[in-house]
Amino acid sequence: MRKTLFTASLLAAALAAPLAQAHQAGDIIVRAGAITVDPREDSGAISTAVTGSLAGSSATLDSDTQLGLNFAYMVTDNIGIELLAATPFSHDVGVKGLGAPLDGKFGSIKHLPPTLSVVYYPLASQSAFQPYVGAGINYTWFFDDKLSSHAESNSFSGLELKDSWGLAAQIGMDYMLTDTLMLNAQVRYIDIDTEATSNHSSLGKVKVDVDVDPFVYMVGLGYKF
């Protein structure tokens, strides 16, 4: 509720603001806000050294919200370079289709998905409303992969996810509240593909390919230097 009131008062301030000078070559823009990584995971079947691929089985991931940061530099009035950073995301990993008692929470992972993009602002710099599109490259670093106690008690050991390189695309908008302060909203799609591996005492090495491919949403405030 408090968040809603805060957003409403920001919007009221935005609508009342006079036309502000928006982005220009040489500007440095720093944005901060709430960022959600929502995996649209497409999992292959889980395979084990003993059984091979297990039809109908898959891995799942939940979503997570953290503090997101953007650092952008305007190369021209319309084109900028932007780095996406965030505090580490944490996702629960589940397995299904293996049957009881193996199905359920398998573990948790953390990742950082730094993304470097070129962004294009089509509108003239006098416009207070600045929509943009961007495309870039992502590196996702998985770390702190941990098995759940459920998986450990079912004779699994170890969990490891491969890091991923992929392309990213985004749309967003800045709305200048003053000459330097802006509201920002953005959505991006990041191509993140990984392979998760674990070990089972009788099934041997257990593997699954997962296309994580999340939508990433961020809403926040920006400041122009």
Binding site for Ni ion (CB under 5 A): 191, 193, 211, 213
Q: In the bound complex, what is the minimum distance in angstroms from residue 18's beta carbon to Ni ion?
A: 44
Q: In the bound complex, what is the minimum distance in angstroms from residue 199's beta carbon to Ni ion?
A: 26
| Residues 217 and 36: beta-carbon distance below 8 Å | yes
Asked if the peptide bond before residue 39 counts as cis, ω within 30 degrees of 0, the response is: no
Q: Is 29 or 192 the residue whose CB approaches Ni ion more closely? A: 192
Single-letter amino acid code for the residue at 139: Y
Q: In the bound complex, what is the minimum distance in angstroms from residue 6's beta carbon to Ni ion?
A: 35
Q: How many angstroms separate the CA atoms of 45 and 34, rounded?
A: 33
Q: Is 19 or 167 the residue whose CB approaches Ni ion more closely? A: 167
Q: In the bound complex, what is the minimum distance in angstroms from residue 208's beta carbon to Ni ion?
A: 14
Q: Which runs of E-coded beta strand occur in the chain?
A: 28-38, 42-43, 47-48, 52-53, 58-61, 64-74, 79-86, 89-96, 104-112, 115-120, 129-147, 156-161, 164-176, 181-190, 193-200, 204-211, 215-224
Beta bridge partners of 125: none
**Considering only CA atoms, which of 184, 194, 166, 146 is closest in space to residue 30?**
184
Q: Is 27 or 41 the residue whose CB approaches Ni ion more closely? A: 41
Q: In the bound complex, what is the minimum distance in angstroms from residue 166's beta carbon to Ni ion?
A: 6
Q: How many angstroms separate the CA atoms of 152 and 161, rounded?
A: 17
Q: How many angstroms separate the CA atoms of 189 and 33, rounded?
A: 18
Q: Is 92 or 213 the residue whose CB approaches Ni ion more closely? A: 213
Q: Is 31 or 188 the residue whose CB approaches Ni ion more closely? A: 188
| Residues 141 and 165: beta-carbon distance below 8 Å | no
Q: Is 92 or 191 the residue whose CB approaches Ni ion more closely? A: 191
Q: In the bound complex, what is the minimum distance in angstroms from residue 195's beta carbon to Ni ion?
A: 12
